[in-house]
Amino acid sequence: MKYRKLGNSGLIVSELALGTMQFGEKMNMGGLDQEETTKMVNLALDKGINFIDTADVYSLGESETLLGNALKGIREEIVLATKVRLPMSENVNRSGATRVNILRGIESSLKRLRTDHIDLYQIHGWDSNTPLEETLDTLNDLVRQGKARYIGLSNYLAWQAATSIQIQTRNHLEKYITAQLHYSLVDRGIEQEWTSLCDYYNMGILVWSPLAGGFLSGKYIKGAQASDGTRFSEAGRFIPFDRDKGYTIIDVLKKVAGRHRVSPAQAAIAWILKQPCISSVIIAARREKHLEDNIAATDLELSDEDLLELDEVSHPGYSYPKWMVLQLDAAEDPRPKALYPERYADKGPWPDLRNTEWKG
């Protein structure tokens, strides 16, 4: 196992983290019981994983409870992350990033996880119904009280994260150090703005669903119904993406994986580990053999040829304004070429579109 810094902090985490949506029976995501949960946790730790991510909403608290039991006696050996914000009941105040719900949420999570602190406490999504200052002030209080060591966000738009960090900076509040975001070969949307934001603020990206709900494992067949017992058959198509393009990506992914004699899942995870700003990739499995296979991705070194093939088949293109930013800043401005010649050694980060021939 290899290790990286957790965003803009000194905390060291494994580059693969154990996800926990499959713990518990209320989400149709795996239904693992206590014995199975404990086995998964012990397997992950034996393989060098020291970072585990959960959330209060996973099976409405059951995942945290099972995880807390599995960590009895070894809690201090791992970096523990959880999240708050999504509805925990029909009670209108049991949802959101309000002071009331965050304070109640962390106390409940601490009890279920059998611990006195959370290493990384994350807001599970943007709350358009609560003043942002209320959320950020409350998170700052939790760090000052020692109930949370660090704070992170998840499922924000880039402008929402930037606004949050500016408020935190201006008001001398604890800052977000991580962003938990979906990223995979079939959905590279965070590259439009998020990776630049994380690079600028030195935030670490925690990737959820790197296999797009298992699609990139290669087990789904074009035109066929999802097999019983798979994520798509039980939980539906939670992650939207272009399936036709997805199958084209799968073909190249299998080709790359075949060159290394590994599974497509390993190649897909290894590709993400090569991308910028990644602190950890969250993996999860219902069966131990699948978890072991995913963990093996940490030992896979993709070649430049592999990376180029996967990039070309999966690249979504650049929407405005990113293409204009690249054109002006990387192609037309002479200063970057003088300051960072190494960036332009291989044609540079962006082809100059001026005076190019149109081939219609």
Q: Where are the domains of the chain?
A: 3-314, 318-360
Q: What is the pLDDT of residues 38-47, one digit of tens each?
A: 999 999 999 9
pLDDT band at 239 (very low <50, low <70, confident <90, very high): confident
| Residue 166 to residue 153: CA distance in whole angstroms | 14
What average pLDDT does the chain have? 94
58 classed as catalytic: yes
Q: What is the pLDDT of residues 152-163, one digit of tens each?
A: 999 999 999 999
Amino acid at 20: T
| Residue 48 to residue 299: CA distance in whole angstroms | 12
**Tokens, residue 333:** 């401005």
Give yes or no for a contact between 296 and 283, defined as CB atoms under 8 angstroms apart: no
Residues 6+ apart with CB under 8 A from 270: 297, 300, 301, 302
Sign of CA dihedral 257, 260, 266, 269: negative
Q: What is the mean pLDDT of residues 240-262?
A: 96
123-129-133 Cα angle (round to 5): 60
32-246-347 Cα angle (round to 5): 120
Q: Which of 192, 129, 139, 193 is nearest to 161 (CA)?
A: 193
Residue 357 has pLDDT above 90, yes or no: no
Give yes or no for a contact between 232 and 214, defined as CB atoms under 8 angstroms apart: yes
> Distance from first CA to last CA of the chain, Å, rounded?
49
Instruction: Provide the H-helix boundaries in the chain.
Output: 34-46, 62-70, 99-113, 132-145, 158-170, 194-201, 231-235, 243-260, 264-273, 288-295, 304-314, 322-326, 335-339
**Catalytic annotation, pick one of 3, 58, 156, 344:** 58
Residue 279 has pLDDT above 70, yes or no: yes
β-strands 3-5, 12-14 pairing? antiparallel
Residue 230 has pLDDT above 80, yes or no: no
- φ/ψ of 184, rounded to 5, equals -160, 175
Question: Is 257 or 232 the better-scoring residue by pLDDT?
Answer: 257
DSSP 138-181: HHHHHHHHTSEEEEEEES--HHHHHHHHHHHHHTTPPPEEEEEE
Residues 6+ apart with CB under 8 A from 259: 306
| Residue 272 to residue 269: CA distance in whole angstroms | 5
Q: What is the pLDDT of residues 81-129, one digit of tens each?
A: 999 999 999 999 999 999 999 999 999 999 999 999 999 999 999 999 9
Q: Give me the CATH code for the 3-314 domain, please.
A: 3.20.20.100
Residue 180 has pLDDT above 80, yes or no: yes
Q: What is the mean pLDDT of residues 231-248?
A: 79
pLDDT > 70: percent of the chain: 96
Q: Which of 308, 249, 240 is nearest to 274 (CA)?
A: 308
